[in-house]
Amino acid sequence: MAQAPKNVESVKKPKPNYLILGGGIIGFAVAKDLRKNDKEITIIDLDKTRVETLRQEGFNALLYDISDPELVNVIDFKNLICIAALSSNDNANTKAISNFKPLIPENVRVVARASDGLKREEMIAAGANYVFIPPKIVSGTITEYLDMMETKHTGNRLASWLDDHRGMKLGIVLHDNPDPDAISSGFALMEITKKYDINAEILYDGKIGHHENKAFINLLDIQMVKITGPESFDKYDKLAMIDCSVPGVNNSVPAGKNIGIIIDHHPHGETEPNAEFSDIRTNVGSSATILTKYLQQMDITVSKELAAALLYGIRTDTNDFRRNTTSADFAAASFLHPLSDHDLLTQVETPSMSVETLDVLGEAIRNREVVSTCLLSNVGTIRNRDALPQAADYLLTMEGISTTVIFGIMEDSIYVSARNDDIRVHLGDVMRQAFGENAGGHPTAAGAKIPLGVFSSAKDKHTLQKLVEESVVKRFLTAMGLENEDDDE
Ligand SMILES: [Mn+2]
């Protein structure tokens, strides 16, 4: 008999999909939105007039204090998807969450409204899955809007400057020894100017160092003109300065030259940059971020090469989003990512080996000597010692090999490069044991530079090579504790 009234009661219990605690401005707005999706909604509020109004609006509203512990018995959780504690009273929201959380099924989500970060923590501790702070959402939306307006404004200014200079010849000057950020930004500006029948060329001074940067320019097929002197600028009607802002400062533009455009993200020094159009945003991580915004705002089609170039520019200037990165850089990157040629990016990041490295590698493979899991190879005379570690790395991938030692002679020294992926061996220690103070390194990578002096008595090149080889191999294997094995055979 005791069961019967309970059952009768449970029939009457509302079975909402969404239970909204607090029917004020936010609760009411959320309920209205959810109703569009045909969801069953129950709203709880302690204000009588409010509850009546909600009922007139056609909602199922109950008159309760949301923090009332009895409330949990009034609701049937069977169809429940989410509980939203949306009242303006932080403590009531927290209490309500604590009351419901232990009783609702695990997969029911709890969303809550808090007035500050501290209250948010409390609600999360009480069991909320997601807590939002209304003023933060409002300010975020407004800032986003203002940001968009500002970009639009500057975008329009750039567009009108370019429009006023249709048909001209524009020199896009990058900073000296340009990096991927400067290059990709110049490339982007060149694309933008095409829309205005402007004939633009990218100019640079200094060197394109770093083989990744060379690969970058070659793979993307970016045409650039090397500046040979002040007269290099004469054939352009106007100059644009990219990733730099003051003539003569990290670029070879003659001081006092009239500048049409400046786009940069570096804070300038004493000299105030001066141009007809200037956009210097020191709050972003790269010039490529600024140019990406222009491309978006001016609705210019971004080729997969340009997207890849800009993405690479942003990534290198922000050190893969670890340095001076702002949300604008992330936003630009996420816009570029789906448009980019990723094969091309992979190729830029793993540049093909130089001919010299390939030669050294070939030599290392041919002359290899394997003792146990140790591979040693004498590559003879070399011109660039950077090839040694590359060969040592490469050969370490060979099956059954856990240590590689590659060595060669350059000028009056023997250079040794060693790699190891056997955790039991500390390669740096082994190398020091073998070659004394001439060696050093880490557990997995080590090197040595040994003066040839001791072998200078060798009468010819062949004998020298032989002596060096015997000495290096013997000393290394002894230090590894492998030499005896070899002798016994
Ligand atoms: Mn830069």
DSSP string across 100-128: HTTTS-TT-EEEEE-SSHHHHHHHHHHT-
- Environment class of 4 (CB within 10 Å of its CB; exposed 0-12, middle 13-18, buried 19+): exposed
Same domain (yes/no): 337, 395: no
Residue 9 lies in a domain: no
- In a domain, residue 7? The reply is no
Are 89 and 179 in the same domain? Answer: no
φ, ψ for residue 443, nearest 5 deg: -60, -35
Paired sense of beta strands 82-85 and 109-113, if any: parallel
The pTM assigned to this predicted structure is 0.53
Tell whether 2 is covered by a domain. no
> What's the CA-to-centroid distance between 289 and ligand 1, angstroms?
9
CATH number of residue 327's parent domain: 3.90.1640.10
Q: Tell me: do 405 and 425 sit in the same domain.
A: yes
Kindly give the distance from the C-alpha atom of residue 149 to the centroid of ligand 1, in angstroms, as a whole number.
24
Residue 298 domain flag: yes
Ligand 1 center–CA 220 separation, angstroms = 19
- Closest C-alpha among 376, 366, 380 to residue 402: 376
**Shared-domain flag, residues 302 and 437:** no
Q: 181 CA to middle of ligand 1, Å?
A: 5
pLDDT of residue 353: 64
Give the CATH number, domain containing residue 363. Answer: 3.10.310.30
pLDDT of the residue at 8 = 45
Assigned domain for 143 exists? no
Q: Ligand 1 center to residue 317 CA distance, Å?
A: 6
pLDDT for the residue 211: 66
Domain stop point among 103, 132, 161: 132
Tell whether 32 and 118 lie within a shared domain.
yes
380 plus 314 within the same structural domain = no
pLDDT above 70 as % of the chain = 94
Question: Are residues 377 and 321 part of one domain?
Answer: no
Q: How many whole angstroms from 318 Cα to the centroid of ligand 1?
A: 9
Q: What integer pLDDT is reported at residue 351 of this predicted model? A: 60
Q: What's residue 116's pLDDT?
A: 95
Residue 5 lies in a domain: no
CATH code at position 121: 3.40.50.720
Residues 359 and 344 reside in one and the same domain: no
pLDDT in tens, 441-477: 888 889 999 888 877 667 777 888 888 888 899 999 9
| CA of residue 173 to ligand 1 center, whole Å | 13
Give me ligand 1 centre to Cα 264, in Å. Answer: 7
Cα of 155 vs centre of ligand 1, distance in Å, is 20
State residue 178's pLDDT score: 92
Question: Are residues 197 and 91 located together in one domain of the fold?
Answer: no
Does residue 215 fall inside a structural domain?
A: yes
User: Residues whose CB is under 5 A from ligand 1 (ion)?
Assistant: 181, 243, 287, 317
83, 106, 132 - which closes a domain: 132
Widest distance between CA atoms in the chain: 114
272 and 161 fall within a common domain? yes
**Which of residues 292, 316, 349 is at a domain's end?**
349
Same domain for 60 and 171? no
In terms of domains, do 196 and 115 share one?
Answer: no
The three-state DSSP-derived secondary structure of the chain is CCHHHHHHHHHHCCCCCEEEECCCHHHHHHHHHHHHCCCCEEEEECCHHHHHHHHHCCCEEEECCCCCHHHHHCCCCCCCCEEEECCCCHHHHHHHHHHHCCCCCCCCEEEEECCCHHHHHHHHHHCCCEEECHHHHHHHHHHHHHHHHHHHHHHHHHHHHHHHCCCCEEEEEECCCCCHHHHHHHHHHHHHHHCCCCEEEEEECCCCCCHHHHHHHHHHCCCEEECCCHHHHCCCCEEEEECCCCCCCCCCCCCCCCCCEEEECCCCCCCCCCCCEEEECCCCCCHHHHHHHHHHHCCCCCCHHHHHHHHHHHHHHCCCCCCCCCHHHHHHHHHHHHHCCHHHHHHHHCCCCCHHHHHHHHHHHHCCEEECCEEEEEEEECCCCCHHHHHHHHHCCCCCCCEEEEEEEECCEEEEEEEECCCCCCHHHHHHHHHHHHEEECCCEEEEEEEHHHHCCCCCHHHHHHHHHHHHHHHHHHHHCCHHHHHHC
Number of domains in the chain: 3
Boundaries of domain holding 102: 14-132
Ligand 1 midpoint to CA 243 (Å): 5
Ligand 1 center to 292 CA (angstroms): 13
User: Tokens for 445?
Assistant: 């990578």
- All residue ranges of the chain with pLDDT < 50 are 1-10, 485-489
Q: How far is the CA of 232 from the centre of ligand 1 (A)?
A: 23
Q: Would residue 37 count as lying in a domain?
A: yes
The mean predicted confidence, pLDDT, of the chain is: 89
